[in-house]
Structures are given as structure tokens and as C-alpha cells.
Amino acid sequence: MTIKSPFSDKAERLAAFRAIDLYPVISSEFTNDRPVLEILRAAAHGGAKIVQLREKNKTKAEIYELALKYREITAEHKMLLIINDHADIALACGADGVHLGQDDLPLAAAREICGDLLLGSSTHNPEEAEKAVLEGADYINIGPIYPTGTKAVSCGTVGTAMLKKITSGLGIPFTVMGGIKAKHIPELFTAGATRIAMVTEITQADDVCAKVKELRSLWKTP
């Protein structure tokens, strides 16, 4: 049985999204061979308010079954659940949103079928960001900010100077991602980023719960 989202409508989802700080992205290939659900539970206990299920090497059937388990855990902890790439799985598992890359289902088409789901879009430059806004994205991700080994990209790194250019007058929330470690967070704050997505800094930590708490405490530092 599909577990319902803890958020009743899109307005609640958007409000919850605007309030996030750390944005864990979990992929099974970056957990040091630990089960992804173990990583998710630890992130939830650490206080994370959102998670993205990102699996590039599993079948749709496998991702769907995993998404149902993610939904159960995230509903218990009142976390937003975002599914990477697959709008159909996001709809089927009762997720809160879907995150789409430049080669995935176009945003305009996703908007027609996704109802109250949040739509996120990966962007790498001002042109892609502007296009995403026009096509109905609820938020964009900007990256990779720094060199990263979790995703093959042909665009190179964005850097904080381009980040400021992309976000100037953007009008919708944005996240940043790509090669981000704890040491980068102050620089990202200075560049105007408040919603920071991280993969290996979280998922490969010896103690994921403690790492999430440690990272989230940086938002509270004067």
C-alpha cells in the first residue's frame, strides 16, 4: 500500500521546501556498501527535512520498490521525498516531487502530468535556469559547483561567481550541488546559497546521523 505524503498539497510542499537547509541525495553506489535505507534512516534521525532518491543503475521496478520504502520512512519523519529522473515513479509512490535533468522528460510535459508534485530541474548556466523558470520549475539545482566524481558532466564546474550570475533575479528557490564538502559551506552562504545538496559528504560518513547534525549546525553559526 502506498503511504501518503505528510504534506497535504503543493502549497505545503513549497513551504517545506523553502525552509530546507541540507539536502541529502542518496545513491546506492556511494554508501560504502551500506543499505540505502540505513543511510536514509540515519539522515532522518539527524534532522534532514528532505531527501532525494537517486539511482542510475537500477531498473524502474527496483527503483519503485525502493521508493515505496523511502516514502514510508520520510512520511514518518515528515520529510520531503524527491525522486530523481522518474516522474512516473514519483507519482506512483506518493512522492513530493521529481527532479529532472536536461535529458529527462521536459518540464512542460512533466507539469501536465505531475499535478501537485514539485518539479526540480538541473541547470548549469543562466540560459538553462531561465528556460526552467519559463517551463514551470518550482526550483532549480545549480551545479556542479566544484569538481565531482558522483556524476559525469561535460559542462565543467559552475563556481560561485557563475552561481551569483545565475541566481540574480531568479524568482524561484534554488539548490546547489556538486563536490560540496563541509569546508565549502561558508563560501556558499556568502554566494547566497542556503539549500545545499550533498552526496558523499553525507552518505560515506562513518556516522551519517552525526554528520547530518554537524552539517546542519553550520546554518546556525553566526
Instruction: Answer whether 151's CB lies under 8 Å from 143's CB.
Output: no
Distance of CA 26 to the CA centre of its chain: 9
Instruction: Answer whether 52's CB lies under 8 Å from 89's CB.
Output: no
User: How much is the pTM?
Assistant: 0.96
Contacts of residue 156, defined as CB under 8 A and 6 or more positions apart, other chains included, come to none
Q: Which domains does the chain have, with CATH numbers?
A: 10-215 (3.20.20.70)
**Integer angstrom CA distances of residue 2 from 5, 90, 96:** 9, 11, 13
Q: Measured at the alpha carbon of residue 22, what is the angle toward residues 143 and 185, in degrees to the nearest 5?
A: 65
Query: pLDDT tens, position by position, for the chain (222 residues)?
Result: 789 999 999 999 999 999 999 999 999 999 999 999 999 999 999 999 999 999 999 999 999 999 999 999 999 999 999 999 999 999 999 999 999 999 999 999 999 999 999 999 999 999 999 999 999 999 999 999 999 876 655 568 999 999 999 999 999 999 999 999 999 999 999 999 999 999 999 999 999 999 999 999 999 865
